[in-house]
C-alpha cells in the first residue's frame, strides 16, 4: 500500500510531539534517559506492525510501575495515548486520500491490515519529533 508523502508533513507532527516532551520536561535526562528514548525510536523505526510499537510502550509502563517509578509510568501512558491518537489520524487521512479501508465497525484485524502501514508511518514521524525534542530538553546548551 503506497501513501502520498504529503500526508505526514513534518509540521503536523512536530507541535503535538514537542508538546508532549514539554509536558515531561522535568523527567527528561533525569528519570527518562537517552536509552529509553532511543529504545522507543528504535522500536518504532524497525517494528513490522503498529501493535508491536504499542506493546513496547505498554511494557515500558508496566516495567516502570513494578519498579515503583509511577512518574515514569505516567510518561509511558501519555506516549501510548498519543500514539493511539494517531490511529484516528490514520483513518482521517485514509478517507481523505480515498484509500480503500474497511468501515470503522469492521473486524479489528481487517482494519489493522489495511491501515497498519499508515499507522506506522505516522508513529515514526511523531516519535522522531518527540525523541528529538526530548533530547534537546534533556541536554540544554
| 40-72 pLDDT per residue, tens | 999 999 999 999 999 999 999 999 999 999 999
- Enclosing domain of residue 94: 12-138
Residue 128 predicted with pLDDT over 50 = yes
Residue 3 resides in a domain: no
- Which pLDDT does position 131 carry in this prediction? 95
Residue 5 resides in a domain: no
Contact 128, 21 (CB under 8 A): no
Contact 130, 21 (CB under 8 A): yes
Residue 6 predicted with pLDDT over 50 = no
pLDDT bin (cut points 50, 70, 90) of residue 105 is low
Residue 135 predicted with pLDDT over 70 = yes
**How many structural domains does the chain have?**
1
- Which pLDDT does position 104 carry in this prediction? 66
Residue 4 resides in a domain: no
Rounded average pLDDT over 85-105: 80
- Which pLDDT does position 108 carry in this prediction? 64
Residue 7 resides in a domain: no
**What are phi and psi for residue 33, nearest 5 degrees?**
-95, 175
Residue 1 resides in a domain: no
Residue 29 resides in a domain: yes
Angle at 61 between CA 59 and CA 65, to 5 degrees: 115
Residue 71 resides in a domain: yes
C-alpha cell at 89: 489520524
Where does residue 12 rank: exposed (0-12), middle (13-18), buried (19+ CB within 10 A)? middle
Name the H helices within the chain.
Answer: 10-23, 34-46, 50-66, 70-96, 108-138
Amino acid at each position: 500500500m503506497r501513501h502520498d508523502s504529503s500526508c505526514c508533513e513534518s509540521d503536523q507532527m512536530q507541535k503535538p510531539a514537542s508538546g508532549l516532551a514539554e509536558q515531561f520536561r522535568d523527567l527528561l535526562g533525569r528519570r527518562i534517559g537517552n536509552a529509553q528514548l532511543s529504545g522507543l525510536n528504535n522500536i518504532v523505526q524497525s517494528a513490522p506492525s503498529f501493535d508491536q510499537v504499542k506493546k513496547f510502550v505498554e511494557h515500558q509502563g508496566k516495567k516502570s510501575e513494578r519498579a515503583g517509578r509511577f512518574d515514569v509510568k505516567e510518561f509511558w501512558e501519555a506516549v501510548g495515548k498519543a500514539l493511539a491518537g494517531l490511529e484516528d489520524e490514520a483513518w482521517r487521512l485514509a478517507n481523505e486520500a480515498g484509500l480503500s479501508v474497511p468501515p470503522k465497525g469492521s473486524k479489528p484485524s481487517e482494519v489493522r491490515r489495511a491501515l497498519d502501514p499508515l499507522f506506522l508511518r505516522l508513529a515514526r514521524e511523531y516519535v522522531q519529533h518527540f525523541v528529538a525534542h526530548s533530547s534537546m530538553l534533556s541536554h540544554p546548551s
